[in-house]
Structures are given as structure tokens and as C-alpha cells.
Structure 1
Amino acid sequence: MTVARSEGVTAPAAASSEAVGATTGDLVPPLVAAGAAGALAAYGYGRRRRRVTTRTTPGGSGHQLISLPELDLQTRQLLVDLDNCVRASAEELVFASARAAPDAVTPYAEASAYAEAELRAAFRLRQRLDDADTAPDGDDRREVLEEIVARCEDAGRRLDAAAPGFDQLRALERETPAAVERAETRFRKLAARTPATEAALAALHERYAPTASFPVTGDVEQAKDRLVFATLRLNRARQCADRGEATEAAASLRAAEAAVAQAGVLLDGVDRLAAELATTAARLPGALASTETALGAVHGRPPTARGTEPFPLGGDPRLARAGALLASVRREMTSGPHDPPDALRRVVEAGALLSEAGEGEVPDLRDDALLPAHAAAAAATDFVGTHRGAVGCAARTRLAEAERLLGPGSSVAETRRADELALEARRLAEQDVRAYGNPSGGEAGAGTGGAVLGGILLGDGEGPVSYGGPRTRGRRSTSAV
């Protein structure tokens, strides 16, 4: 990509990874902030329990209940808004941590962690409502919905309360030139990486089946779009700072930082997928051979005969299905470029069927199941994060559940379920993006449509989104951005 060079920015740039010492004399003392955060958490817990017990209208007088459909819609929007806040806050914490003392960042990291924990609990409840087998009805459903509302509101208040102190910590309005330099450094590194990442993506297209590289198709182009947007915003930040327009400079800088961060996610995703495909391709032959041997033993076939002839189709349908899956994988591996994660999923499924049938010695495929599941979850996380301006509640809920199931000690069944949920999350997110369309940048400049789609700017094209909850995340919003 050729990034247009504007006066004030001579090359693509982004935030430096070097920590810079921060002056914290004018900051809220960390101990005081932490104490206030603890008090707010205790208050939030009590308020949440009272709300669930009395089932009042959220934000209302407590005398009249809103309808279940309306409450359901409210929870979906609250979850989307809070998820966006948590993602943006975590992103900006990285920039703060690069220049401030750890003790100064701790209260705000704790507020972000609290919000994320509440968000995950709320998503877990939402998944319970979405699952046909666990979904409650009537008053029980209302109670779960109100618990979601209460958790989201408590988490949002915690982030909102931390936002003023965080602004003092970051000091974007006072330290714009230095922050711009850090952003430009990171930006230049990403721009320099772009051609190599583009070549790596082309190599994936040649080496594997098209479906293997599908998760990152278009990511390099989107990264270029974010870099163009960041170029213009960094130039504007410098110009505003030179004119003494500190508020406008900080807003443009924050938008540029977020765009650079998303460009990094998009480029990193291509490199990560290349490594994942190589690892999975190397793992596949061993997993296939061990599972073929196990199934062959059930049919009285010696290990040396694996893959040489079809498995019998009669008898237990689970064994027949396992044989068909293994045969399809063997056929694809010997016929040319294939999709290693998809093939490994079928091998793991064959092993699960063999286990269900209770026949023979089943190979341990837990690590094999984790490879495609982690890859699917990572790809879905990247897609949701870089398209969060359009992605709805269902995709985020499935992704959160997939991440929960991929926790330490997950079984093969849990890992396979997580894989399914991660793939569904990606499918639903793509569906949301298609329905959202391609936002126009209008007069705001190149890349603005992508910035809105990525949740860098608010839906009206203003912004940027900053650390904080639903009430404070758009505090730097200005049409000048």
C-alpha cells in the first residue's frame, strides 16, 4: 500500500512500545482510587441483588415492569455497549501501561478487570437464555434478564467512575506531541510489515485450500484502510496541537491510536494463522494414523494396513461414520492442497464416535481438538474486535461462551463445543457486518467508514471511543475528529 504523505506525517506511524516515565504528581493517589473502587464494587453488588429481588424496571420507579420482549432487547444492547467499552478500555490501558508506573495504572486495570468479569457473567446468562435446553420461562426468564441488566450497569458505572482519573493518567491533552511520536513509531513499523504480510497471505492461498485462509481474507486491505485513517488523524493531531487546540488534538490522536491498534490486530492475524496452519498440518498425519489404527483394530485390521482400503460400512453406524470421516481426510491429504484445521476436526470427530461406540482403545485427541478450536476463537475475537461497530449480541455471546469452554482442563467434548461456538460466532458476526453495509466516510476523510465499522468512532462518525463506560466512552466526541 502507498500511504498518502500529508504535511506533518512523513511516514506511517504508531505508538512506541517503549515505556516512558510519567509524571504522576497530579494523579489521584492509587490507594485512594482503589479504596473508592472497592466501595463502588460493594455498593454495586448490593444494588444488583436488590434489583433482581424486587424486579423493578431498570432506571424506572419500580412500580411497573417493562415487557419481556422489551427487556430482552435492552439486555442485548447493554451487552453490546459494555463489550465495546471493555474492549476499548483494555486497548487504551496498553497505551497507558507503556508510559506510566504500574502502581498508577493498577486502579484502572482493576476497574477494567471488574467490568470484564461482570460482562463474562452476563454473557453466560445470555447464553443460558439462548440455549433451548436451559432457557427459562416467565418470571424466571425476567429474573435472568434483570440480572444481566444489573451486571452491565454495575460494570459500566465502575468504568465511568474511573474515566476522569484515567484521563489524568494518560494526559493526552497535555502530552500530545510525545504521544503522537509514540503512535508514529508504531505506525511506521506496521506499514513496513504490510508488504511481507501480504506476501505471506498469498503463500497461504497457494499452499492450502481456499477455506484454510478464509478467516483472514481481506485483512491486509482493511489494515491498509486503518493506516490511511491513522495517517490523516495523526496529521490533524499535530496541526491542532500547534494551534493550541488541545481537546481536538487529543481526540484525533486517540482515534489514530485505535486505528493503529486495529491495523496491528489485522496484520498479526495473518501471521498467526500461517503459524497455526503449519502446526496443524504437522499434527494432522499423526492424529489421522493413530485414529485409523484404533478403528482398524476394531475391524481386526493390522496397523500396517491403515489407509490402504475403505473401512466396512455395515454394523455400528458410529463406526461407519468414523470410517467415512477418516477416509475423506486421507483422500484430501493425498490429492493436493487441503484445509488442515477442517481435516483435524474430522479426525477428532471420528475419535469421539469411536469413543461413543465403546470399541477399542481410543487415542487421546485432546491436544488435537484444541488446535482448531483455539484458532477459531482467535479468528472470531479478531473479527469481532475489528468490526465491533456492526457486530450484534448473538455473535459476542457465542464467542464469550467459546472462550469460557476453552478454559484450563477442558474436555474433548467441551473443546469441540467451543470450536462450534467460535465458528458460529464468526458466521453471525459476518452476517451482522453484511447487514450493516459499508459505512461512508462522507466529508470526514479516507478510512472513516472503516473506523466506524471498527468501533473506533461512534456510529455517527464522531468520536473517538475512549477508556470508560457507556456514559463516558464518547467524552472526546467532536465533529473535528
Structure 2
Amino acid sequence: MAAAAPEEDESSAADLVLPLVVAGAVGALAGYAYLRRTRRARTRTTPGPAAHSPAPPPTGLDEDARALPAEADDWIRTSRAELGFVAARFGEEAVAPFTAAVRDAETELAAAFRMRQRYDEGVPADEASRRQVLAGIVGRCQEAGRRLDAAAPAFDQLRALEREAGAALQVAETRFRELAGRTAAAETTLTGLAERYPPSASAPVTGCAEQAKDRLVFATVHLNQARQATDRGEPEHAARDLRAAEAAVAQAAVFVAGIDRLAEGLDAATRLVPAALTGAEAALTQVRGLSTTGGVPAGELHARVRHADAVLTAVREEVAAGPYDPLDALRRIVEALTPLDAGRAGVASAAGALVARSSTDLADGFVETHRGAVGGEARERLARARRLLADDAYVAADTLAREARDLAEQDVRVYGNPLAGAAGHASGVAGAVLGGILLGGDGDEDGGVPASFGGPRTRARRGIA
């Protein structure tokens, strides 16, 4: 890989991105040291498929039906990220056909995920019908890929990277500079979270600032190389490096946004906890006057009320003692009220929505930035969480989103170190492979080809013979 440092007579644009190579390399190594620590420290806490589900047929069809949804999710996520850079340059109207292609692919994948859920639940039961479901999952994912592949040639005509790499570089460099400032601000935000809340509150974004720096180190190297290739008149090499840099900038933005969103969520939760406690007490007062609710016998109802009382008491004590995790406090309040059919309106509903959105966003951000390692089960859980969130089933959405995050973290631990040696980590290549930015494989010391807008036949087209 070419060195990131430009010669004195090279472009000022490259000089502007250079300082992060030195400062960010340290952060990159720290971020991946954190990642390895979490791989060792965490254990799986989520259940597998339901025990009563019929065993899947031992065929390649089942293997395809398990693997293709994750691959299709990658195609869509990559396409969506590159589309953002093109829209920034040409406008939303110019990219409307490609936006539609991505949405069509999303619709196909959503259907495949729903089919996978029913299949894992044992529906349908007979073997012939179950094989048809597996074939349907495969077909839906293939159609998602076909739609993206079909749009890729026109997408490349609009971008014209081989002819107009300079203009696209300006867009990427502008985003890079803006994001470098946001990353520094995010570090300050994390420091503030550590001062205001217990470690558990900010744990989901611990290491995110370091990993954002890691992606920016990688972007620095490839923006410089793209600029140099442009100056040398090597448009294919410029396009390849530019795509790698764009994807890294996009993932750095996800890391930073995750920190900002969690900080906003914790702040909103802090303001909401007192009202949630008051609303919960009022709901319990109403329930105590009932002999039954929702068909629950009186004895069971009274037991649920006692449990809810104990939860509210514990939350009040934690709030008084401080510091405490306000999102977790809201989660426990809502979970205590839900069995009493008392958490579907008013402040309890608002609390449930806040908690579920936060956990879903965190899970989605983790999958987005580690998609080179995350498999289909975590993504299917995340898809279910999104559907439940849209249906206002907040407790179930929150539970599934956290399960999706746990499963995704397990996948990362199993995936292990994508590159041996410190050089790949210091340059950000290891993170780029883990994040699905580079379509690396065994023996690809440079991480391989950068992924581009498109499906299975077109996403690796930036490879150079």
C-alpha cells in the first residue's frame, strides 16, 4: 500500500487530510485493542431458534437461505452509503431512479426476513412447503441483488468516476473534514457521559470514537492515493481508492452519530424518568382497584402489581442515589407496567418508544460498521425489531434489538482478526475489512476490492487486474 504522506509539491487537499494519519493511528490501535477485549469479555446472552421448530432440511438450499439475507443486506447498505455521496453532488432528483432501486431491494429483503422468521417458528410444518419457503427466501434475495445490479451501469454513467474523479474527491474531502471535527467533539461528548452516568450507560458506544478515527485514518490514506492517481492520469486507480475512502467516511459518520444519538437519548431519558415514575404510580393505582384486567386472575394480577411496585421503588432509590442509567430505568418501568396492560398510553408509551428506538439504532449502527463479520441471524432479529417498533410494540422491539446486538457481537468475536500484524490495523485496513468496506479474503494483505453500489455481480467492479 502506498504511503499516506504526500510529497511537498502534491496537492493541498491531500495535505489537509494528512494529520489524522499520525493522530488517528494511535486511536485505531486503541480501538481494536478494545474490540479484542470485548470479544474475550462478552458471552452470548440470547437464545437460539425456538426448540420446537422442525429441523431444516440438510440441503444447500437451507445454507443459501441462511447466507443470502446477510449478503443482500450488505449489498443494500453499501449501495445506500455510496448513494449519499452521489446525491450530495448531483441532487436528489438525479439519483431518484437509484434510490428507487435501493428501496425495491429493501422491500425484497424485508419479505425474505419475514419468511425466515416464520420458517424458524415452524410455519409451515410439512417438509415440502418448508422447502418452498426456503426457495422463496433465496428468490427474494436474488431479486434484491438483480435490481441493484440492473441499476449499476446507469449509476456509473452518472458518477463517471473515471472521467470526473476530481469533482467526486472534493465531495469526499469536504465530508472528511467536517467529520474529523465531529469526531473530536464526539470524544468530548463521551467524556461528559462518563462524568454524568455510570459506565453501563455509555457502554454501547465505548470505543466508537477510536473506531471512527480508525476509519478516518483509512480514508486519509485512500483520499491521498486517489488524488495522486488522478494527478498521474490513472482514473481506474483513482476510482478504486475514492470508493474505499467514501465508504470509510460513511462508516466513521455512523460511529460518531451513534455517540451523539445515545447522548441525546440519555438526556431525554433523564428528563422523562420523573414523569414516567409518576405516570406509573397513577397506572398502578387504577389497576389496584380492579379484580381482573385482560383476563388475568386476581391472584396473578396482585402479584404483578407487587412486582411493579418493587421495580418502581428500586428505580426511585437509584435516581435518588445517582448516578444512574436513565434509559435502563425507563426500560424497567415500562417492562413492569406492560404485564398490567398499563404501559400503552401517555408517558409510559413515550418512554417505551424512546428506549426501543435507542436500542434499535445502536444495533443497526453496530451491524452497519461490522457488516463484514455479522451474519444473518442478527440481521433478521434487527429486521423484526424494526417492524415491531413501527407497530408500537416497544418492549418486544427493544428486546429483539438488544438480542440482535448481542448476536452481532458474537459474530464479530467468532470472525476474529481479519488481518495479521500491526500494519493492517495502523493503516485502518483491518477495520475496513471488518466493516465490509473492502471485500477482503484470506491472503489479501491490502484488504481486497472496495465494495460499490450494486448487487452480487457488480459490487466488486472496482477491482483492477
| Shared fold, TM over 0.5 | yes
Q: 1:263 aligns with which of 252, 255, 270?
A: 252
Partners of 2:125 and 2:326 in 1: how far apart?
40
- Can you give the 5+ residue segments of structure 1 that lack an aligned partner in the other structure? 14-65, 301-312
Change (3 A) 1:240 1:362: closer
Per-residue Cα deviation, 1:224-266 (whole angstroms, up to 9, x for no partner): 0000000000111111112211111100000000001111111
Q: Aligned residue for 1:31?
A: none
Q: Aligned residue for 1:79?
A: 69
Q: Aligned residue for 1:336?
A: 322
Change (3 A) 1:472 1:363: closer
Q: CA RMSD in A?
A: 2.5
Q: Aligned residue for 1:454?
A: 435
Change (3 A) 1:6 1:129: farther
Secondary structure at the counterpart of residue 377 of structure 1? helix
Q: Aligned residue for 1:201?
A: 190
Is the Cα–Cα contact under 8 Å of residues 82 and 119 in structure 1 kept in the other structure?
A: yes
What pairs with 1:45-64 in structure 2 (closer than 5 Å)?
none
Partners of 1:440 and 1:6 in 2: how far apart?
26
Per-residue Cα deviation, 1:411-447 (whole angstroms, up to 9, x for no partner): 4xx2211111111100100111111112227676710
Q: 1:319 aligns with which of 305, 313, 334?
A: 305
Q: 1:402 aligns with which of 385, 388, 401?
A: 385
Pick 1 or 2: higher relative contact order, CA cutoff 8 A, min separation 6.
2
Q: Aligned residue for 1:437?
A: 416
How many residues align? The count is: 405
Is the Cα–Cα contact under 8 Å of residues 228 and 447 in structure 1 kept in the other structure?
A: yes
- Which letter does structure 1 place at the counterpart of 2:458? T
Is the Cα–Cα contact under 8 Å of residues 212 and 256 in structure 2 kept in the other structure?
A: yes
Secondary structure at the counterpart of residue 455 of structure 1? coil
Q: Aligned residue for 2:47?
A: none
Change (3 A) 1:81 1:299: closer
What pairs with 1:99-114 in structure 2 (closer than 5 Å)?
99-114=89-104
- Which letter does structure 2 place at the counterpart of 1:262? Q
Secondary structure at the counterpart of residue 337 of structure 1? coil
Change (3 A) 1:226 1:135: farther
Is the Cα–Cα contact under 8 Å of residues 287 and 347 in structure 1 kept in the other structure?
A: yes
Q: 2:349 aligns with which of 360, 366, 372?
A: 366
- Which letter does structure 2 place at the counterpart of 1:105? V
Partners of 1:354 and 1:159 in 2: how far apart?
47
What pairs with 1:278-293 in structure 2 (closer than 5 Å)?
278-293=267-282
Is the Cα–Cα contact under 8 Å of residues 291 and 363 in structure 1 kept in the other structure?
A: no
Change (3 A) 1:205 1:364: closer
Partners of 1:223 and 1:405 in 2: how far apart?
30
Q: 1:123 aligns with which of 113, 125, 131?
A: 113
Partners of 1:136 and 1:6 in 2: how far apart?
63
What pairs with 1:144-293 in structure 2 (closer than 5 Å)?
144-293=133-282
Please, which moves more after superposition, 436-445 or 208-217? 436-445
Is the Cα–Cα contact under 8 Å of residues 279 and 347 in structure 2 kept in the other structure?
A: no
- Which letter does structure 1 place at the counterpart of 2:407? L
Identity of aligned residues (%): 53
2:16 equivalent to 1:11: yes
Q: Aligned residue for 1:49?
A: none
Change (3 A) 1:351 1:384: same
Partners of 1:374 and 1:355 in 2: how far apart?
21
Is the Cα–Cα contact under 8 Å of residues 219 and 267 in structure 1 kept in the other structure?
A: yes
Partners of 1:321 and 1:274 in 2: how far apart?
30
Secondary structure at the counterpart of residue 474 of structure 1? coil
Partners of 1:279 and 1:6 in 2: how far apart?
45
2:455 equivalent to 1:474: no
Is the Cα–Cα contact under 8 Å of residues 441 and 447 in structure 1 kept in the other structure?
A: no
2:362 equivalent to 1:379: yes
Deviation at 1:385, TM superposition (A): 0.3
What pairs with 1:14-25 in structure 2 (closer than 5 Å)?
none
Q: 2:372 aligns with which of 379, 385, 389?
A: 389
What TM-score comes out, normalization by structure 1 length? 0.79
Is the Cα–Cα contact under 8 Å of residues 79 and 123 in structure 1 kept in the other structure?
A: yes
- Which letter does structure 2 place at the counterpart of 1:463? V
Deviation at 1:275, TM superposition (A): 0.6
Change (3 A) 1:185 1:122: same
What TM-score comes out, normalization by structure 2 length? 0.82
Partners of 2:115 and 2:224 in 1: how far apart?
45
Is the Cα–Cα contact under 8 Å of residues 294 and 362 in structure 1 kept in the other structure?
A: no
Partners of 2:92 and 2:201 in 1: how far apart?
41
Per-residue Cα deviation, 1:376-417 (whole angstroms, up to 9, x for no partner): 11111111000000000001000011111111xx34xx2211
Deviation at 1:140, TM superposition (A): 2.0
Task: Pick the structure with greater CA Rg.
Answer: 1
Change (3 A) 1:340 1:143: same
